[in-house]
Structure 1
């Protein structure tokens, strides 16, 4: 049974582990080893904690263990959505997105936007997001392709 709840400070290490695992084990299908190495880093744990606490962040648990997370900034930006590789394809991301959309509606936000990776683009397209632009972003000396996408609620 999947359960969604608000992020707490105790989730820091679990969310970092989910982030790193998802990039290294899932996004690695679509990005080069050098791109993965540049992307899969959390150099400042305190900044991670501050970022998660600065906005609504949601965690999905299965059997009492965090297996995915997502967030929503005040302007409608969905900054992060990551699911642990061992729990892909069971509805975690769909539950997170539904929760983010519900939160946006509560806050009076009519548009959610994100920068979806090559890996995540099909998920977001399948849930009503449209591509605004293809982008090339710099991460630690590497250029990574992603897609600026949006959905009107």
Structure 2
């Protein structure tokens, strides 16, 4: 596995991996309607890729294929962290998370926050995030459940 910075030409491969992962892995926690809203068959790839701009963004490759990616704002908002459905539970997410922690320390972020899916919540808890709130969010007209979570450097976060 090789971790490296995200490049703009990675966007299409990240999108494909994201869509496949959502439909295969998150299917145990979300309905087909929710999965289709979250990861539809087609999107505005330019808009999706622009969300990486100005973020700390990394990918993990194996055999020249992207098997994981993440992006986090300089203020500590972890927007996306996804691992290929075929590479779950192999340390890819933890590798990415360790890299993001190093960036958070360099950026002097005291907290990192994210909106974690039902499926991703246990991973985030395993690396020290705590649930701040359960949320019902709308995505393309469909309601999905996720969790507002926070990780704090050197301490615990109080949950609501």
TM-score by length of 1: 0.96
**Cα distance, 1:44 vs structure 2:** 1.2
| Structure 2 residue 73 is matched with structure 1 residue 76 | no
User: What is the DSSP-based 3-state SS (H/G/I as helix, E as strand, rest coil) of the residue aligned with 2:78?
Assistant: coil
SS in 1 for 2:11: helix
Residue 49 of structure 1 and its aligned partner are, at CA, apart by 2.1
Shift of 1:54: 2.5
CA distance in 1, matches of 2:100, 2:36: 29
Q: Partners in 1 of 2:48 and 2:36 — Cα distance?
A: 18
Match of 2:65 in 1: 65
Residue 28 of structure 1 is matched in structure 2 by 27
CA RMSD of aligned residues (A): 1.0
How far did residue 51 of structure 1 move? Answer: 1.4
Is the partner of 2:55 in helix, strand or coil? Answer: coil
Query: Could you tell me how far apart the structure 1 residues matched to 2:49 and 2:121 are?
Result: 27
For CA contacts below 8 A with separation 6 or more, give which structure has more relative contact order: 1
TM-score scaled by structure 2? 0.92
Q: 1:120 & 1:128 partners in 2: Cα distance?
A: 13
Map 1:65-144 to 2 at 5 A. Answer: 65-144=65-144
Secondary structure of 1:43's aligned partner: coil
- What are the Cα deviations for residues 126-150 of structure 1, in whole angstroms up to 9, with x where unaligned? 1110000000000111110000000
List gaps (5 residues or longer) in structure 1. none
Task: Give, in whole Å, the separation in 1 of the partners of 2:61 and 2:123.
Answer: 20
| 1:50 Cα deviation from its structure 2 partner | 1.5
Gap runs ≥5 in structure 2 = 154-160
The Cα of 1:53 is off from its aligned counterpart by: 2.5
Is 1:19 equivalent to 2:18 in the alignment? yes
SS in 2 for 1:81: strand
Aligned-partner Cα distance in 2 for 1:140–1:134: 19
Distance (whole Å) between structure 1 residues aligned to residue 118 and residue 49 of structure 2? 26
